[in-house]
Structure 1
Amino acid sequence: MRSDSPHSSSLGTWTNIILAGKEIDEMNIPFSNSFVKTLGDGSSTAFWKEVWIGSSKLCDKYPRLYMLECVQNAMVSDRLQICNATMTYNWNWIRTPCGRTMGKLDSLTELLSGTSLSSETKDKWLWIMSGNERFTVKILSSIIDESLLAIGTNNYETIRNNLVPKKLEIFTWRVIKKRILVKLELDKRGIDLHSVRCPLCDDDLETIDHALIFCKHSLDVWNRIFKWWGLGNFSNLSTNEILRGIAPSQMSNLGRLIWQAVEWVCVYFIWKNRNNRVFHGKMWNTPIALNEIQSKSFEWISHRSKGKKLDWFDWLNNPSVYLTI
């Protein structure tokens, strides 16, 4: 099959989009079914193996005919041709259809009777979730924001926090849904690993809670974060409790959002540094991780906290002043 088909075995752009779409479908967003093939000259559309006419693949609708096909990867242009403004069929059978199969061929030719090809244009995919029928990551991100991030998850009211970028909200959703690929989750998916123990400390199985909280390297970061904010010792909270934004009762509503945003940034950069260690061989450096969390949380929150100006000196030295504003 040609590489410009979204179902091609080669990992082209459309293939990667469709593969990523399987996870989006699980968010109750009908992404994989949102692409519609429109014919031009029929040279890049698989006759039997793609949905280009009707609502199903012709190989599924007419399995007996498909089994008689000599070239099962044939394109539409291989089987349909326009000659003097008349549609002609260029079949290539292992043996001539007969009996009940001949009736299926009559049904297929009737289905194809309204098909039109144009030698002047190429086949193309349209994305029906976009007003201009063109796929863009920006539009998809907006759809995910509206359809996913505001819904409850695991009985939690929300996973939204407008003080952080959307990528952090999406990462948070992935953590809650156990979609980040720690070793134990990979093992559950049948991926054979040499070990499912934590690749950083080797003290325990690498679960999501262990990787993001209880690994001695992660825990060192959390203790420093709590000390930085003057909140005493880090409590043994689960990842879900952290992402939900468990906070002392004396915090204001904005203070709770700020603290939750800092926790989310902390989880994000712990995971980033874990991956740098696992995939790039970089040594874990807690002071550098803390600096990343301090600078990025200040940048992201200060840009989004409407009417509340944050001071960098206070942020580094006395951030708890922002918990009651």
Structure 2
Amino acid sequence: MSLFAAPNGVLDKLEKIRRRFLWGGSEEKKTIHWVSWEKVIADKDKGGLGVGSLKSINISLLVKWLWRLRSESSTLWAKVITGVHKLHDKGDDYYSMKSMTGVWNNIAGIKRELEKRGIPHENIIKKHQGGNGISWRCEITRDGKYKVSALRHILEDNGHVVIDSFIWIKEIPLKVSCFIWRAKQGRISTTTALSSRGINLPTTTCCQCNSMEETTDHILVQCVFAKTVTEWIFNWCNVPLISFQTVHDVLDYASNWGTCPKKKKRLLSICYATLWSIWKARNERIFANKRLCATKVVDIVKSTTFLWVKHRGGKRGLNWMDWNILPFKSL
């Protein structure tokens, strides 16, 4: 990946393996791919998972060699490349003699890939003439030094766009954050979602209220059980409750509530835990035939978020008694 431009066919096969791994499938076992791969590999700033495409990684690693050739021109390998390809009297964007074959020509050819994607070479590697002589600066980073992650970020921005953003919180376990990310898009394994994908089920009715179709927004927000849990959680937080219809409504309200950034983050963390706990209660009902009452789920939300904030968030001095009264007391 760092020495050769990988053929598109090879990259496609590797991406297929990654997709199977993410969704727990294999060549023998097919699984449902709940979210499009374009959204999965999109940058987190664009609402994706930030996995990144192998093509972008390949390009970014190859461009690093071009940067090193200019910025480390005094090293032996750079002198050899410069001499062999006669770069002394050539332009700044000239890296190899086309008549020659070999690894370096393969690396230098990546400049054409940048041009195809509308990224000027001088934005990556730019020459500066100063009192101390010639120096090279990378225009896409703050410190002027090339970073693979910086170019990869630009390449992903150019290739993948996800309209809806998502807030990732370090206190929240990755498994939970990924679930909320999927739920916000309506891409979790509800009975209606499974049925629409050809899975035969005895019923698609919500197991908590037994009156409505089980969709993502219904089981997590609209169901009487979910509404009761959410109401008690918001009362505990002393936050005004409005009528929510979708998972997006809940998350949007929490992320824009109040003026204190720390309280917004804390409330959003609690909302993540609430939606996760409601889903877990639903699974207990279906798979273990165990019905959890709303008060039990509320207690689970309180204790779960307490442990997350205390241990994952580094708030070792957090007191359970204060937390149980008001989760914002320690802020």
Q: 1:32 to 1:248 in 2, by over 3 A?
A: closer
Deviates more, 1:150-159 or 1:230-239: 150-159
- Matches for 1:223-242 after TM superposition, within 5 Å: 223-242=231-250
Aligned to 1:207: 215
Aligned to 1:311: 319
Identity %: 23
- Matches for 1:234-253 after TM superposition, within 5 Å: 234-244=242-252, 246-247=254-255, 249-253=257-261
Contact 1:183/1:197, CA 8 A, preserved across alignment: yes
Aligned to 1:131: none
Q: Give the superposition deviation at 1:166.
A: 1.1
Q: 1:237 to 1:215 in 2, by over 3 A?
A: closer
| Paired positions, count | 199
TM-score by length of 2: 0.51
1:168 matched to 2:176: yes
Query: Deviations along 1:228-285, whole A, 9 cap, x unmatched?
Result: 1112435325201323453564341111111100000000010001010011100131
Rounded to whole Å, the distance in 1 between the matches of 2:195 and 2:302 is: 34
- Matches for 1:33-182 after TM superposition, within 5 Å: 155-182=163-190
Query: Deviations along 1:101-147, whole A, 9 cap, x unmatched?
Result: xxxxxxxxxxxxxxxxxxxxxxxxxxxxxxxxxxxxxxxxxxxxx99
Query: Deviations along 1:38-78, whole A, 9 cap, x unmatched?
Result: xxxxxxxxxxxxxxxxxxxxxxxxxxxxxxxxxxxxxxxxx
Rounded to whole Å, the distance in 2 between the matches of 1:276 and 1:239 is: 21
Structure 1 unaligned spans of 5+: 1-5, 7-12, 34-145
Contact 1:25/1:32, CA 8 A, preserved across alignment: no
Query: Deviations along 1:11-33, whole A, 9 cap, x unmatched?
Result: xx983897569568722358999
1:189 matched to 2:200: no
Q: 1:14 to 1:223 in 2, by over 3 A?
A: closer
Counterpart residue type for residue 215 of structure 2: T
Aligned to 2:291: 283
TM-score by length of 1: 0.52
Aligned to 1:57: none
Structure 2 unaligned spans of 5+: 1-16, 18-23, 42-50, 56-151
State the SS of the aligned residue for 2:254.
coil
Rounded to whole Å, the distance in 1 between the matches of 2:318 and 2:232 is: 21
1:292 matched to 2:300: yes
Contact 2:257/2:264, CA 8 A, preserved across alignment: no
RMSD across aligned positions (CA):
3.7
Larger Rg: 1
Q: 1:23 to 1:218 in 2, by over 3 A?
A: closer
